[in-house]
Structure 1
Amino acid sequence: MTPAYAAFTERGLRLAEKLAASLPGSVTRCGHGGPTLAQWTAAEFVRSDALVFVGAIGIAVRAIAPHCQSKASDPAVVVLDEYGRFAVPILSGHLGGANDLARQLSALCGAVPVITTATDANGIFAVDEWAKHQNCQVLEPARIKAVSGKLLAGQTASVWSEFPLPGAAPAGVIPTQTQDAADFALTLFPAGNALHLVPRIGVLGVGCKRGTTIEQLEAAFAAFCEIHGLAPACICAAASIDLKQNEAGLLAFCQAHRWKVSFYSAAQLQAAPGTFTPSHFVQSVTGVDNVCERAAVLAAGGPLRIPKQAGGGVTFALALRPYAPDWRWQHE
């Protein structure tokens, strides 16, 4: 997380600079030869994953109000008074990480973190904060309330996970045997009415004909996910052969999804560990018997999960980065 700090007075600016020295980020004194508060907030709300206001909460609330959209996408917002006595998260406490950020900032300047989210106030497991700590995308943010509501009412919430979860579950959380019976589920393949938490660990291996358009890739990707019941949100990166590193459609496809894309030579792909689906045609064109599976495994540093699927001149495969979730859910 890289905060953007805004201050309004000389004292506030000194505190912001002190915080930024330990937790780096840009520092701006709004309305003092630089951008106005409105200009700064509009820009940083889109650009940054955390905003830190050193000043009055009222100023921060009025500044961010026109830009708030969803707890799933809004950045973390924390306010500190200019003496550094209190650090108050006011937006995206769990999913955005504002609660954790307030604790970090408090440790740097001796402030008291003022955490007001209900689960934290009651010392109860926060499923959305847990999701963030486990590198998960929350597919249905509106369902967080149902899980937290059960726990706050003293009831139990059931969990299903396709990944091992070692250790004892938090108080009130009980494992269940099927995804359909779960209140929340840790999975790449969401089904039923649970709150689905999707680990962002997938690497998409891509093979395509020369000149393949972004529209063709998007259609093939949608089909790939639908056929396998895969949550697109699990993908965090893509990979292919270096022959495709200048393919405009592929580059635009990855940019549209904000995926870093890696390219490998035929020799590198050939050396990838594992067993792959060979193709004599692909071998004759590229010099290696399989592109998408091998590229995915190399970029992920983990096993192949879905073997190649071909269609419309595109092949996709999915490999997974190493992943070991646990029950940590608070900042340590």
Structure 2
Amino acid sequence: MSVKKIAYYALTSKGHTIVSRLAAKLGGTVYASRRLEAEGAAPFDSLSELISATFNTFDAHVFVAAAGIAVRCIAPHLQSKETDPAVVCLDQEGQYAISLLAGHLGGANELSTRCARVLDGQPVITTATDSVGVLSIDMLAQSRGLVINDISRVKFVNIALLEGMTVQLHDPEDWLGLAWDMSFEGISDPADWDKNRPGIWVTWHDDCPQGALCLHPRMLHLGVGCRLDVSKEEILDHVHAVFKAKGLALKSIASLGSVEAKRHEAGLLEAAHDFGVDPVFYSTKQLASIDVPTPSDMVLAHMNVPSVAEASALLATHGGELVVTKEKTSTVTLAVARAKGD
């Protein structure tokens, strides 16, 4: 993961020189102790108070300070390896760039390497998979755009790989690209899955066996039609109900689309936000160009187009196919499509 917003912290003049060099090359915001009167840096009086304000507003934090100082400052703010920002700690000479927190998903390993390259120093990376050159599943999943269902399951797979064990892999569409890798045993029939062994299950369905590391590709596209002033809850309830009935994974949702006339519908915008996607709105001309299995005379009369939900879902896939034709409540219509080749 390439971090974008970086904060640098200097407690000494040497530290300020180092972070200034890093910021010039990598970008970011420099903070320095007020007593340094450092040019080009935002001053601070208390580092711990500053971190309380900045910790969750930056993708990464780079300290030129003793590791213990950095640890004490960040400790009260740690939440999860899924969400914590990267933290890198450097010594006063810039000889070592230590990846301290969020090495994989947060990008600290990569950032420590970049810092060391700028300073002609040495990155210090202690994550086990990186130390011995073994594939890290969480990094691979991230690079392939897969959502990790339960981050706590990653360690069991990574430990198994470190110990040279063969890991079960159910990935019929080869999202991970590991079909060739002898470290994994391909499991095509769910009946052959051994719940007592570590394994990875890649799916856009809600069918992950207990104990498996479940990865979801974001490739299900929602098309939504709705009444005026529909609430977020009405949309979410309908999507959840349809996905449960059809056995689909909510974490595989890739987009939410509707007609341009719904661009300012608050409930629709809030529902998209809850699913972690940006809403997409299509013109009636775009929607009318799509052949759908269940056009509606009522929609045509009200929106001047024969379909909103099914047409929106199909447009998002650029020629894909519906996996759920339109399902209606009194206020919401939903269709779900997936792209060809996904």
TM-score (norm 2): 0.84
Q: Does residue 137 of the first structure (1) align with residue 147 of the second (2)? A: yes
SS at match of 1:222: helix
Alignment equivalent of 2:298, drawn from 281, 284, 292: 281
Deviation for aligned residue 1:323: 7.6
Deviation digits for residues 278-302 of structure 1 (CA, Å, limit 9, x no counterpart): 2222122111221123223334546
Q: 1:118 to 1:247 in 2, by over 3 A?
A: same
Q: Does residue 77 of the first structure (1) align with residue 87 of the second (2)? A: yes
Between 1:30-39 and 1:206-215, the stretch displaced more is: 30-39
Between 1:42-51 and 1:281-290, the stretch displaced more is: 42-51
Aligned length: 323
Alignment equivalent of 1:44, drawn from 43, 50, 54: 54
Deviation for aligned residue 1:205: 2.0
Give the structure 1 partner of residue 14 of structure 2. Answer: 11
- C-alpha contact (below 8 Å) 2:82/2:151 kept by paired residues: yes
Q: 1:247 to 1:83 in 2, by over 3 A?
A: same
Deviation for aligned residue 1:305: 4.7
Deviation for aligned residue 1:58: 1.4
SS at match of 2:103: coil
TM-score (norm 1): 0.86
Unaligned runs of 5+ in 1: 325-332
* Sequence identity percentage: 34
Equivalent runs, 1:138-287 vs 2, <5 Å: 138-164=148-174, 166=177, 169-179=180-190, 181=193, 183-190=199-206, 191-193=208-210, 194-272=212-290, 275-287=292-304
Moved segments of 4+, more than 6 Å? 321-324
Unaligned runs of 5+ in 2: 36-42
Give the structure 2 partner of residue 329 of structure 1. Answer: none
Deviation for aligned residue 1:127: 1.2
Give the structure 1 partner of residue 313 of structure 2. Answer: 296
AA at the equivalent of 1:192: P
SS at match of 1:174: strand
Q: 1:290 to 1:162 in 2, by over 3 A?
A: farther
Deviation for aligned residue 1:35: 6.6
Deviation for aligned residue 1:223: 1.0
Between 1:107-116 and 1:178-187, the stretch displaced more is: 178-187
- CA–CA distance in 2 between the matches of 1:202 and 1:40? 41
- C-alpha contact (below 8 Å) 1:206/1:240 kept by paired residues: yes
- CA–CA distance in 2 between the matches of 1:145 and 1:270? 49
- CA–CA distance in 1 between the matches of 2:255 and 2:123? 35
Q: Does residue 124 of the first structure (1) align with residue 140 of the second (2)? A: no
Q: Does residue 25 of the first structure (1) align with residue 47 of the second (2)? A: no
- C-alpha contact (below 8 Å) 2:87/2:101 kept by paired residues: yes
- C-alpha contact (below 8 Å) 1:6/1:30 kept by paired residues: no
Q: 1:59 to 1:126 in 2, by over 3 A?
A: same
AA at the equivalent of 1:97: G
Cα RMSD, aligned residues only: 2.6
Between 1:90-99 and 1:23-32, the stretch displaced more is: 23-32
Deviation for aligned residue 1:27: 2.7
Give the structure 1 partner of residue 40 of structure 2. Answer: none
Between 1:283-292 and 1:181-190, the stretch displaced more is: 181-190
Q: 1:5 to 1:206 in 2, by over 3 A?
A: same
Deviation for aligned residue 1:241: 0.7
